[in-house]
Amino acid sequence: MKIFIDTANIAQIRDAADMGIIDGVTTNPTLVARENKPFLELIKEICETVDGPISVEAVSQHCDEIVKEAKQLAKINKNVVVKVPLVKEGLKAVRILNKDKILTNVTLCFSVPQALLAAKAGATYVSPFIGRLDDIGHVGMDLIRDIRKVYDNYGIRTQIIVASIRNPLHVIEAAKAGADCATIPYDVLMNLMKHPLTDIGVERFLNDWKKVPKPHGRGR
Ligand code: E4P
């Protein structure tokens, strides 16, 4: 499963990239707004930090405007993937962008039929938001399992990005469901690495190491 980091924060992106654990980045207008930086400058900086798919959301409302905006975004860097909302005008735009070989991530997906239509329109990626479904009392991960089944039934190549992830269990379940990618907030990503027995083990080894006789002035 590819791992994307779901943030527009450069320090977080750089930290995760330095660990070699991320394949790409997803942003959205909310995440971008938090950074309080000029938009283009920020996206360019993200593209310079990670060599992988960088999802950037188009905010236009009508097909022709979405296409125009998407083309401008795609010019920023070869890795830019244009996020388009799963609405009628968005799907029309995805169809055109697919023909023009511009990568798309159809976002705000909350149902299997929506995911099927995104694929039919030619989406490169689809982003089902599982945390927001959990928030309203649905089992968000069921949607991932169902989309996986439907896509596999027909050999659909649109990649499923599990989005709106809130905790490590979401990541485990996404991988078990066969998702192509998971986009994960920084805090959840860091929690994936943690285990109390690892911390206890490191501390014990360091304490025991202090008891090992060492030549004067040398580490070993
Ligand atoms: C995905 O592309 C979105 O940026 C993100 O996962 C939305 O997550 P949220 O529901 O926590 O806002």
Mean pLDDT of the chain: 97
State the pLDDT confidence band at 214, using cuts at 50, 70 and 90: confident
| Three-class secondary structure of residue 106 per DSSP | strand
Summarize the confidence of residues 197-206 as an average pLDDT: 98
Summarize the confidence of residues 22-44 as an average pLDDT: 98
* Tokens (6 digits) for 13: 């992106």
pLDDT in tens, 9-29: 999 999 999 999 999 999 999
Is 217's pLDDT higher than 70? no
Ligand 1 atom with the smallest distance to the CA of 30 is 12
* Tokens (6 digits) for 153: 């039934």
Question: How many CA atoms, within 13 angstroms, populate the side-chain half-sphere of residue 197?
Answer: 0
pTM of the model: 0.95
Superfamily of domain 2-211: Aldolase class I (3.20.20.70)
Establish whether residue 12 lines the binding site of ligand 1, counting it when its CB lies within 6 angstroms of any ligand atom: no
Q: Which residue has the higher pLDDT, 179 or 217?
A: 179
How crowded is residue 90: how many other Cβ atoms within 10 Å of its Cβ? Answer: 25
Establish whether residue 183 lines the binding site of ligand 1, counting it when its CB lies within 6 angstroms of any ligand atom: yes
What is the Å distance from ligand 1's center to 26 Cα? Answer: 9
Establish whether residue 164 lines the binding site of ligand 1, counting it when its CB lies within 6 angstroms of any ligand atom: yes
Q: CA 163, CA 166: separation in Å to the nearest integer?
A: 9
Establish whether residue 105 lines the binding site of ligand 1, counting it when its CB lies within 6 angstroms of any ligand atom: no
pLDDT in tens, 133-180: 999 999 999 999 999 999 999 999 999 999 999 999 999 999 999 999
Is 36's pLDDT higher than 70? yes
- Candidate of 22, 126, 129 to mutate for ligand 1, largest count of ligand atoms within 8 Å of Cβ: 129
The pLDDT value given to residue 215: 81
Q: Any idea which residues carry the catalytic annotation? A: 83
Over pLDDT 90: what percentage of the chain?
A: 97
* Tokens (6 digits) for 27: 């942003």
Summarize the confidence of residues 122-130 as an average pLDDT: 98
Summarize the confidence of residues 107-131 as an average pLDDT: 98
Establish whether residue 107 lines the binding site of ligand 1, counting it when its CB lies within 6 angstroms of any ligand atom: yes
Summarize the confidence of residues 111-118 as an average pLDDT: 98
Is 218's pLDDT higher than 80? no
- Candidate of 2, 3, 12, 28 to mutate for ligand 1, largest count of ligand atoms within 8 Å of Cβ: 28
Question: Nearest residue CA, atom 12 of ligand 1?
Answer: 164
Q: CA 133, CA 142: separation in Å to the nearest integer?
A: 10
